[in-house]
Amino acid sequence: MIVLVLLLVLPLLALALPGSPALMRVAGVTLLWWYAAVAAPLTAAISVVVARAVR
Amino acid sequence: MTGLGTLAVWPGPALLAWVVAAVAAGAPVAPLLVLAVALAPLLALLQPARATAPRHPVTLALVAIVAALVLSAHLAALADAAALIGARRWHAIVLAAALTLLVTLMPGARRWPGVAPLIGGAALLGVLLAAAVSTGLAPWAAWADAAARPALVFSGQSPWVIEGERFVRRTTLAFDDGQRVVAVAPGTFRVVEHDGGRRVVRDWRLGAGDALTLRPGDTLTVEAGSRLRFEPGKRVPGAPASGPAWGDAAPDASPVRSLALLATLALGACALVPAPARRVIAAVFIALGLSLGASSWGAYATLAAPEAGLAGSPIEALLSLPRAMPATARGVTGGALIAVVMCGLLALFVAAAEGLRHALRDAAGTRWPAVWTAVMGGASVVSIISVVDPLTPLMTGLGLAGAALAAPRLAAGRDAGRRLGWPVEVIGAVLGAAVFAAVAVANPPAALESLAAFPVLVAAPVAFGGVRLLRAARGDARSRAR
């Protein structure tokens, strides 16, 4: 649960960083969008599967 | 209940339309919205399991209000979709409510809880694949193409340019460049001009075919039901200034509003999505499909129809994609794809309603059929009478659910006991609901406007803290008794 909460609030922290690293583009898409649409949901999904398996 | 059935309460038509519309419009909050909508139900799956919720009239009333609000949001989205394709709003509402009551009250239908979300998901995925085939672009390539455009303009093939489109509700459009708009049907239009720092308001009564010339910086307020035609090659009013501005989306999002959005969605999901007993993998794939599917849909919609948010309803972003697609090689027309989208939305509504029925059944016990019918009937009547933005009842419902159901439940744990003759969790629910209502109707100073817009930010901590205090007081009393 803590991992998921961290994944949720991480972009808020990243957007406050100087130089806007979240807006760097990879394959035409910003890092923030890669994170929000792909990386974070995938990490969250793996975390949930692992957490349920451990229980 | 299966994992699929458990999560089906989450991606209803209003929520899905909101996410797609935010992505297509390049809304500052869009990336966080996609993230929160995907992660919130997964967070709910990891809630601590509890034996049974205390059955109490207050809990039942709160669950019924939340269910009615969420249902009316989804019904408003379906009604908007009906209005956009030229049907009557009430036709869609009555059809959806009757079908859902039939499915949820029919004993045999409950044996297949995963069928409705599967139909809804498959229908929308099919349209998304058709968009990929039709454009010949993968979602990230469509995204990159949309983000590389110098400006988001009306294309010559847009229905807003050819025959003009209808506004679902009263909308104010801000024009960045000069444009001549034509009224397709008679109506009254308010133009606000900024002449050398002076604000000039003019009301125009136009007949069919009359034109109105707007200058950069003007705003035009259009009443619900009006129809307008725009000029090809001109910027879409209210759209981001350019493709790169659309792709960047996030820098202007206010931290307080972003946090409030995350809290509303996460706590709302914790209230509505119970921890499932099995098939977590299926639930995980739904959440992933939601984030990837909604982002991809938004990218294709921006590429094909950047005017997707013009009509004043988020559902337009979902319908604009099949509308803008050319007939594919297999002869699938835009009309057929719109019908598929409508069927998918109807199936998602039935699935979301089935999830809400489960929550209501847990609170109502054996009386659930009567309560459920009353809730569905009430939500339908409200949706027919009042034409509201689906987001308003959706955010109110999720916020209230988070403050009055999720926060006290998370604070109470397994056995919080009773105080003053009431279960502690129920006292927390009353506290959360009262604070939520008080903050929502309060008229705060400008600095605290975000709190009034998202009362869950105040109500949830108060409910959580209240329950924790009552639990601690009970623990002290027990220690003294020993």
The interface predicted TM-score of the complex, written ipTM, equals 0.93
Least confident of A5-9, A16-20, B262-266, B424-428: A16-20
CB B77 within 8 A of CB B71: no
* DSSP β-bridge partners for residue B194: B199
pTM higher than the cut 0.80 = yes
Strands, E, within B303-400: which ranges?
Answer: none
Average pLDDT over residues B282-311: 86
Chain B nearest-CA residue for A15 = B251
* Surface of A (1-55) touching B: CB under 8 A: 1, 4-5, 7-9, 11-12, 15-16, 20, 22-23, 25, 27-30, 32-33, 35-38, 40-42, 44-45, 47-49, 51-52
Q: Which residues contact B184 (CB under 8 A, 6 or more apart)?
A: B163, B164, B208, B209, B227, B228, B229
Chain B nearest-CA residue for A53 = B280
Average pLDDT over residues B197-225: 89
B448 touches chain A (CB under 8 A): no
Written as six digits, the tokens of B47 are 């809630």
B85 touches chain A (CB under 8 A): no
Average pLDDT over residues B225-246: 89
User: Cβ separation of A29 and B147 shorter than 8 Å?
Assistant: yes
Residue B336 has pLDDT above 90, yes or no: no
Written as six digits, the tokens of B25 are 């419009």
Residue B16 has a pLDDT of 94
Average pLDDT over residues B222-243: 89
Least confident of A13-27, B32-46, B397-411: A13-27
User: Cβ separation of A23 and B250 shorter than 8 Å?
Assistant: yes
Query: How many contacts (CB atoms, under 8 Å) link A and B?
Result: 114
Where residue B478 falls among pLDDT bands split at 50, 70, 90?
Answer: low
Q: Which residues contact B130 (CB under 8 A, 6 or more apart)?
A: B322, B325, B328, B332, B337
Mutation for B interface: A2, A8, A31, A46, most B CBs within 10 A: A8
| B104-151 residue pLDDT tens | 888 776 666 678 888 999 999 999 999 898 888 998 899 889 988 998
Query: Average pLDDT of chain B?
Result: 86
Distance in angstroms (rounded) separating the CA atoms of residues B254 and B358 = 36
* DSSP β-bridge partners for residue B179: B214
User: Cβ separation of A9 and B262 shorter than 8 Å?
Assistant: yes
* DSSP β-bridge partners for residue B226: none
Residue B329 has a pLDDT of 47
Residue B452 has pLDDT above 80, yes or no: no
Q: Which one of B42, B140, B259 has the shortest CB-CB distance to A29?
A: B140
Average pLDDT over residues A4-22: 82
CB B439 within 8 A of CB B451: yes
Amino acid at B6: T
Residue B327 has pLDDT above 70, yes or no: no
Average pLDDT over residues B230-235: 91
- To the nearest 10 degrees (0 to 180), the angle between helices B57-84 and B315-324 is 30
Residue B113 has a pLDDT of 65
Average pLDDT over residues B333-358: 90
B276 SS3 class: coil
Phi, psi of B211 (to 5 degrees): -110, 155
* DSSP β-bridge partners for residue B206: B187
User: Cβ separation of A37 and B266 shorter than 8 Å?
Assistant: no
CB B341 within 8 A of CB B318: yes
Average pLDDT over residues B233-244: 87
Written as six digits, the tokens of B6 are 């458990």
CA–centroid distance for A4 within its chain: 9
CA–centroid distance for B418 within its chain: 37
* DSSP β-bridge partners for residue B50: none
More confident call, B168 vs B4:
B168
